[in-house]
Every structure is written in C-alpha cells, then in structure tokens.
C-alpha cells in the first residue's frame, strides 16, 4: 500500500491543550416547524434537530462531532456556517456574536469559515472547470491574489495533491477522491481559519478515505486551520480530532479530549458507540468474543423526543429519575478537566472489556485493517 494510506498514530494533546477560542457556540437550537391540518395548514409541532448545544473550537484545533444518523450534526454545521438561521442560542466567532448577523455584517468573516460537504459528486458544478470552481470564492469575494487567480488555483491544486495543469478539466474527469480534493482546494481558496467538514470521507471508497483524511490533517497542521470534523463513526474522528463531542437526538451528551473520551468514556451511549463491533471480522472470520453493547431499537423521533434523558428508551441503566430530570452536561468526579458527561448514572471510566477499538461501519473496519498492515 502507498505511504499516503497510512494514518498517523493518534496524538494526545490532553484536556488542557489550551489555545485561544475561535468559535464558541452556546445554547444553539434549531427547531424545524412541522405543518399539518386541513383546510388550514398550521404548525403542529417541531423537529428538534439541535436542542441547546454548547461547544467551542480553538484556533488551529480539530474538534470532532460524532453521532448516529439524524442526531443533528449537519444542522449544527449549517448553523455555524450561517447557511441556516438558529431558532435560539448564540454563535461567537473570534469573540463576535454572528448568530443573527446580516449578510453585510457577515461579509468580512464569510471567507474565514468554509465548509466541505459529504458528497464530492453533487457539491461541484459539473459545467464548470476545476479552475472556475476553485477560483469561484475569490471571484465572489472580489479577491485578486498576488500573481492572479490562476496562479493561486495552481498552487491550491498542488497543495491538495492534484496536477496543477488540470485546472481546465471538468469534475467528471476526476475520481471521487480527487473530486473531494477539489472540494478541499475550494475551501482553502480564501485562506480560512475554520473549516466545517461534514462527513468529508463517508461517500468515498474505503481505499481513498485515508488519503483524504491525511490531506485534511496536513492542512490542519501545516496551515493551522481549525476544523469542526463531523462523522458518524468514532474511529475516523480519533485519527483527526484533539477533542470530541458525542451527539444524541439534538444534544451533546459527552465531550472531552480524545484520550479521555476513548479510554475513559462515562456516558452509556459513548460506551455503546465504542463497543459496537461488526458481527464478522473483515477477513470473514468470527470476531473474537468480548463484551459488547448492542444498541436496541431505533433513535426516537426528534419531533417527540423522550422526556428527561433522551437516551433513556435505549439505555440499559435507565431509572425513574431519567424520565423526569434531564441530566446536565457536567464534569463528573474522576473525569479530566473539560471531560463533561450528561448522565445520572454514568458508567465506570473504563474500556477494559474491549480488546480493541471498535468501528460501527464495516467499511471503516476494512480501512483500519488495511492501515494496520503497514
């Protein structure tokens, strides 16, 4: 396998990695109205997609946001990049509240916050050349880099590992991984300080995922760009993020530095995410016996989430109190500074029962297997 496929070993920056806050989100909420009734359609409820989350991303840091499908990750990303208006809460960027800033007020910082989307096929205009796509943000913002836009496009293509001579080609002439590289080049065009990457590798072939993760990691470290890295799987975030937050039904239920979340998780849901294993190992053999937590049932509807703790309908530790009192996100005794958990009856901070790191997605299991051979 190529050197590019190697994922660097996770580094532990610790809970107190410090660093100036770049983005601070407080009480962020997005409720989508649900309409119904006849003949007059009225609002009859709301999808509580994001319900009062707090998080912060420091300058140059990669912050991972993880959770099952529908828990509100993309909505959070879209709120932060102001592609959507929040229902409530504040978003502060470099100390300035931008949650309700107008287009004109946002203009000076628009270039500093960029987004990379999940699907490299639909996020690139098929009728535009790569040069046009990557220089698009410069054009919109009236930016003329020294040496001209074409020179900058060529530099960006080189940074993301593409041939600078290909700036005149169209997206269909590139593979999925290469298209995602084009997406990364476009996000870098305005020299952003924060990139919100919404599942940037989930649509890619397993063999390509590690290459793109490596590229993003290089960008983060060498250009000092902060990332909000959204993923449904804890495995991919582990390679990329210094801090990790776990979301469930619109809420953050656990957050902390990577090492603390992976080796001393306290919330039952985090334990479950870490211990969910594929039935069969990638080689087709039965996986070795170990204690596993299997999540029963589906995620409840965000239109009518469970009272108290939203995880209680799937939680093996639930008691009466869990139905009546919402657990606050707090630092439990024994947890490292900055490791917060929202649970009335937390798990012991251990993962001893698990023999190895666990991956929900069989495709990622194959990736881990592949990279561990080197």
Ligand X SMILES: Nc1ncnc2c1ncn2[C@@H]1O[C@H](COP(=O)(O)OP(=O)(O)OP(=O)(O)O)[C@@H](O)[C@H]1O
Distance CA 213, CA 216 (A): 5
Tokens 């490791």 -> residue: 339
Rounded to 10 degrees, the C-alpha dihedral 331/50/48/252 comes to -20
Q: Which residues pair with 114 in a beta bridge?
A: 195
318 touching ligand SF4, by CB under 6 A: yes
Rounded to 10°, the helix 362-372/206-223 angle is 70
71 touching ligand SF4, by CB under 6 A: no
Q: Which residue from 23, 311, 329, 360 is in contact with ligand SF4, where contact means CB under 6 A?
A: 311
132 touching ligand SF4, by CB under 6 A: no
76 touching Mg ion, by CB under 5 A: no
Cβ of residue 211: shortest distance to ligand X, in angstroms? 22
Cβ of residue 50: shortest distance to Mg ion, in angstroms? 12
Residue 249: other Cβ atoms inside 10 A: 25
Residue-wise burial string across 47-76, b where 16 or more C-beta atoms lie within 10 A, e elsewhere: bbbbbbbbbbbbebbbbbbbbbebbbbbbb
Give the range of 69-77, 121-129, 264-272, 279-287 binding Mg ion by CB under 5 A: 69-77
Cβ of residue 3: shortest distance to ligand SF4, in angstroms? 42
Distance CA 262, CA 235 (A): 10
Q: Which residues pair with 40 in a beta bridge?
A: none
From the list ligand SF4, ligand X, Mg ion, none, pick the one residue 322 interacts with, judged by a Cβ distance below 5 to 8 Å according to partner type: ligand SF4
Cβ of residue 345: shortest distance to ligand SF4, in angstroms? 4
Q: Which is nearer to ligand SF4, 48 or 220 (CB)?
A: 48
268 touching ligand SF4, by CB under 6 A: yes
Q: Which residue from 62, 74, 178, 242 is in contact with Mg ion, where contact means CB under 5 A?
A: 74
Cβ of residue 181: shortest distance to ligand X, in angstroms? 22
Give the range of 68-76, 128-136, 285-293, 302-310 binding Mg ion by CB under 5 A: 68-76
* Residue 40 dihedral angles phi and psi, to the nearest 5°: -95, 120
Q: Which is nearer to ligand X, 249 or 309 (CB)?
A: 249
Give the range of 39-47, 81-89, 215-223, 307-315 binding ligand SF4 by CB under 6 A: 307-315
Say which DSSP state 87 is in: S
Q: Which is nearer to ligand X, 232 or 264 (CB)?
A: 232
Tokens 């698990």 -> residue: 354
From the list ligand SF4, ligand X, Mg ion, none, pick the one residue 49 interacts with, judged by a Cβ distance below 5 to 8 Å according to partner type: ligand X
Q: Which is nearer to ligand X, 67 or 327 (CB)?
A: 67
Interaction pattern, residues 320-349, with ligand SF4; x per rule: CB under 6 A: --x----x---------------xxx----
Cβ of residue 238: shortest distance to ligand SF4, in angstroms? 22
Q: What is the DSSP string of 161-187?
A: TS-GGGGGS-GGGS-HHHHHHHHHHHH
Nearest alpha carbon to residue 194 among 83, 79, 61, 301 = 61
Map residue 294 onto helix, strand or coil. coil
312 touching ligand SF4, by CB under 6 A: yes
Distance CA 68, CA 121 (A): 23
Length of the chain equals 374
CA angle 360, 215, 155 (to 5 degrees): 155
Interface residues with Mg ion (CB under 5 A)?
A: 74
Interface residues with ligand SF4 (CB under 6 A)?
A: 268, 309, 311-312, 315, 317-318, 322, 327, 343-345
């Amino acid at each position: 396998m190529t050197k590019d496929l190697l994922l660097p070993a996770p580094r532990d920056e610790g809970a107190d990695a410090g660093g100036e806050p770049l983005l601070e989100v407080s009480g962020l909420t997005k409720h989508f109205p649900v309409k119904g009734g006849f003949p007059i359609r009225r609002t009859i409820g709301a999808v509580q997609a994001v319900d009062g989350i707090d998080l912060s991303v420091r300058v140059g840091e990669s912050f991972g946001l993880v959770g099952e499908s529908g828990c509100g990750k993309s909505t959070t990303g879209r709120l932060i990049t102001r592609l959507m208006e929040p229902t409530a809460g504040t978003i502060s960027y470099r100390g300035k509240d931008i949650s309700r800033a107008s287009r004109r007020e946002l203009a000076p910082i628009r270039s500093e916050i960029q987004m990379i989307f999940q699907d490299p096929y639909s996020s690139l205009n098929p009728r535009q050349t790569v040069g046009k796509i990557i220089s698009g943000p410069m054009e919109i913002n009236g930016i003329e880099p020294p040496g001209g836009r074409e020179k900058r496009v060529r530099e960006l293509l080189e940074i993301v590992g593409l041939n600078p001579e290909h700036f005149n080609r169209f997206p269909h002439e590139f593979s999925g991984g290469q298209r995602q590289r084009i997406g990364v080049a476009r996000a870098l065009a305005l020299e952003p300080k924060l990139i919100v990457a919404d599942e940037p590798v989930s649509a890619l072939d397993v063999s390509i995922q590690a290459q793109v993760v490596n590229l993003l990691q290089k960008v983060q470290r060498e250009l000092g760009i902060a990332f909000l890295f959204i993923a449904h799987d804890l495995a991919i975030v582990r390679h990329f993020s210094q801090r990790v937050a776990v979301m469930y039904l619109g809420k953050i239920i656990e957050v902390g530095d990577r090492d603390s979340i992976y080796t001393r998780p306290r919330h039952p849901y985090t334990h479950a995410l870490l211990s969910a294993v594929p039935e069969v190992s990638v080689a087709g053999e039965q996986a070795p016996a170990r204690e596993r937590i299997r999540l029963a049932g589906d995620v409840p509807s965000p239109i009518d989430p469970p009272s108290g703790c939203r995880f209680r309908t799937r939680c093996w530790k639930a008691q009466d109190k869990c139905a009546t009192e919402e657990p606050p996100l707090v630092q439990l005794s024994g947890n490292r500074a900055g490791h917060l958990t929202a649970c009335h009856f937390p798990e012991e901070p251990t993962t001893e029962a698990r023999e190895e790191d666990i991956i929900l997605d069989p495709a990622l299991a194959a990736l881990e297997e592949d990279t561990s051979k080197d």
